[in-house]
Amino acid sequence: MRRFLKTNMAIALLMTAASAQAEDVEVLHWWTSGGEAAALNVLKEDLESQGIGWTDMPVAGGGGEQAMTVLRARVTAGNAPTAVQGLGFDIVDWAKQGALANLNEVAAKEGWDKVVPEALQKFAKVDGRWVSAPVNVHSTNWVWANKIVLDENNIEVPTTWEEFTAAMDTLKAAGITPIAHGGQPWQEATVFDGVSMSVLGPDKYKAAFIDLDESVLGGPEMKEAFDRMAVIRANVDDNFSGRDWNLATAMVINGEAGFQMMGDWAKGEFLNADKVPGEDFVCIRFPGTSEQVIFNADQFMMFDQGGAVSKEQSALASAILSPSFQSAFNVVKGSVPARTDVSDEAFDKCGKKGIADLAAAAETGNLFGSTAHGHANPAGVKNAIYDVVTAHFNGEYDSETAVMELVDAVSIAK
């Protein structure tokens, strides 16, 4: 009996020591689809191999709006998670509020300044302090198509808006839903990223959505952009309302629909269903935007836990930025690395194209933040744009009214 007690005490002591050594990280994120969960596992396993435990805090909802609501409640209650998935201006906002830990030590040790693209540093480094660890670069101006459906209907990959509308007509006549879409404001805004770029071109996209220039927000090209959104609305199925983005992707995967306009996280769903780019599906830039990359980057913000950045937060940040993780994770997620020095060798056709497109766009001044995913403007303006785009998509406004509402909504929100 005494021996038994002694052994038990020894085990208890060992366990206490172990848990004191390795705290868990609690990670709040919105990666809940099949493809997203597969990518997240790459990160979980990486940390587990370093003896760092993972407490999962998933909040479903593409684009992360619901996750941000939960985050605000947690911070208000004085109980911020260790690390939180964040996008663009949201990160800057939390940093300005003093809520984020300082990652400068690990960033300096690992030379992040030299390898993280400038466009991302704008959001990851605030007032000279690294506050978040960039995981990837996604892009929204993509179209995903079922290759077999295209072939069976003699449709060439469309490169212009006219070819795209012709392809939609062909599919409709064949009884196939031309566009798979999920009727949620963030998804409509994601489509609007590519559509507006295709009409406005890069200079006017920047003037409208980044500089908030009223003459472009209210100009004739913006009406044309809304007219194109109406064409897309006319080519979705009757059950689009409220559908999650990954269920829309599934419609393209199983041949129920021809195309989906969605960020490259959609590729994660194709891969998770064992589909092969170039054989089962194709990835193309939204017609008319082949030179541009509209980007959003996932980062993990490290929340201040009262004191200096914790050992686990530094380890998580370091794991995220390691070149091998950047390759392994982004191959599965559909995104491209957040470092400029990672080889494209492990990436499939679409991933290689994504990496090359990003480098070329950065070089030629064709890289722009996504309006839909918080990389063009802070949340207030982003949400004002969501409201107008969604109201128009759902038939509340015609295109002319939508343009006027856009100007008003943005001027009130900015």
Give least dist CB 361 to ligand BGC, A.
18
Give least dist CB 265 to ligand BGC, A.
3
Beta partners for 116? none
Between helices 185-205 and 379-393, what is the axis angle to 10°?
A: 110
Residue 373 within binding range of ligand BGC, rule CB under 6 A: yes
Residue 65 within binding range of ligand BGC, rule CB under 6 A: no
Between 333 and 353, name the residue whose CB sits nearer to ligand BGC: 333
Q: How many helices (H) and strands (E) are present in the chain, helices listed first?
A: 19, 14
Between 59 and 167, name the residue whose CB sits nearer to ligand BGC: 59
- Which residues make Cβ contacts (< 8 Å) with residue 346, sequence separation at least 6? 327, 328, 331
Considering only 3-11, 59-67, 120-128, 319-327, which stretch makes contact with ligand BGC by CB under 6 A? 59-67
- The Cα 208–Cα 213 span in angstroms is 5
Distances (CA, A) of 100 to 45, 134, 254, 293: 25, 14, 43, 29
- Could you say which of 209, 265, 281, 393 contacts ligand BGC (CB under 6 A)? 265
- Could you say which of 40, 47, 64, 67 contacts ligand BGC (CB under 6 A)? 64
- Could you say which of 26, 36, 90, 188 contacts ligand BGC (CB under 6 A)? 36
- The Cα 252–Cα 144 span in angstroms is 8
- Could you say which of 90, 224, 298, 348 contacts ligand BGC (CB under 6 A)? 298
Considering only 20-28, 56-64, 102-110, 401-409, which stretch makes contact with ligand BGC by CB under 6 A? 56-64
Question: Interface residues for ligand BGC in 80-119 (CB under 6 A)?
Answer: 87
- Which residues make Cβ contacts (< 8 Å) with residue 306, sequence separation at least 6? none
Residue 347 within binding range of ligand BGC, rule CB under 6 A: no
- Could you say which of 296, 313, 326, 371 contacts ligand BGC (CB under 6 A)? 296
* Measured CA angle at 38 (ends 29, 116), to 5 deg: 65
Give least dist CB 262 to ligand BGC, A.
8
Residue 138 within binding range of ligand BGC, rule CB under 6 A: yes
- Could you say which of 25, 28, 57, 62 contacts ligand BGC (CB under 6 A)? 62
Q: How many residues bind ligand BGC (CB under 6 A)?
A: 11
Nearest to 246 by CA among 184, 323, 329, 312: 184
Give me the residue label for tokens 């830039």: 285
Between 39 and 199, name the residue whose CB sits nearer to ligand BGC: 39
Distances (CA, A) of 208 to 2, 140, 172, 213: 77, 17, 33, 5
- The Cα 140–Cα 403 span in angstroms is 22
Binding footprint of ligand BGC on the chain (CB under 6 A) = 30, 36, 62-64, 87, 138, 265, 296, 298, 373
